[in-house]
Amino acid sequence: MFDTTELAPESEMGRYSIKEVETLSGIKAHTLRIWEQRYNILKPKRTDTNIRYYTDEQLRLILNISTLNRSGYKISRIASMRPEQMREEVLKVEISRDEPDFLMDSLVRSMLDFDELHFEKILQNAILKMGFEQAFIRLIFPFLVRTGVMWQAGSVKVVQEHFISNLIRRKICAAIDSVYVQPGADSKRFVLFLPENETHELLLLFTDYLLRKKNHHVVYLGCSLPMTELPFIATKFKPDYLVTYLTVPLESGTLNNYIKRIAAMLPECKFLIGGSQITLSKVVLPERCIAIQSAEELLQAIEKG
């Protein structure tokens, strides 16, 4: 594979603190320092104030070491490997192991390298072994949480985040298209939307897939919907539930007020709401509003009625 990092000037390369590498790789900072000092396997660069940082190339190396170490290879053995030998051993592990922790490192490498074929291979193997739902619940969404932290910190480029998000989006849309909905007596009616200026759509799309697979009626309204449009769709479609996710702070008003206004606009609907803003905020939800933190909680809330 053509390695563009060899051509990129250092100012254009990724620059990761030891804490950020810890988040992306799952390897503790203490362990990274041991690998550096005892085995001389890592050679981080230093800022003018003597603070460690790592480049894209070094992060790839750490991900490879992490994959092999999780698979039982001793660090002393890994440290003695030539680069091409290490890559060969990593490929063997990717083929033989299907645990999310092993595959996560491979997905991060795919993102850094814009390697669509590698990403497709890892994800397709995960889907074959776990099934579509479990592959997304156990692998893809934890991966997005991990990289989302780095994107917000500026360590993952916007272009990298867009690249990987669109690959995942394509997979979910294909899965949605393959679902044949057969509504029954127990089917509910759902409106799915994201608030204005909210564009992180993958979790909403996955919710669409889950609901359709359960044979519910779904109206999918997508990103950045003005709140004032909700009463109109309510009169036309008469939903039992509204579902939304908040991952970025609201530009106007508080989260509490936003939720209360929607609850007041559609008093007959239940409101399922998730996302990092709900997780991080001390929001008091009205009676008919339910916080959801996972796919399991979403389905449980629906089953309870």
What distance in Å separates the CA atoms of residue 245 and residue 141, rounded to the nearest whole number?
14
pLDDT of 243 reads 94
pLDDT of 1 reads 28
Could you tell me which of 234, 214, 216, 215 has the C-alpha nearest to residue 225? 234
pLDDT of 9 reads 38
Question: What integer best gives the mean pLDDT of the chain?
Answer: 83
Can you list the residues of the chain whose pLDDT is less than 50? 1-12
The CA-based angle 103-155-33, given to 5 degrees, is 70
Q: How far is CA 60 from CA 65, 175, 219, 259, in A?
A: 9, 31, 42, 42
Give the alpha-carbon dihedral of 182, 184, 188, 192, to 10 degrees.
0
Residues with Cβ < 8 Å from 181, sequence gap 6 or more?
A: 212, 215, 216, 217, 218
pLDDT of 6 reads 33
> pTM for this structure?
0.73
* 78: its two tokens: 């890994």
Structural domains of the chain sorted by starting position, each given as residue range(s) with its CATH number in brackets: 4-176 (1.10.1660.10), 182-304 (3.40.50.280)
Q: Give the pLDDT confidence of 188-205 residue by residue, as tens digits.
A: 999 999 998 888 898 899
pLDDT of 278 reads 78
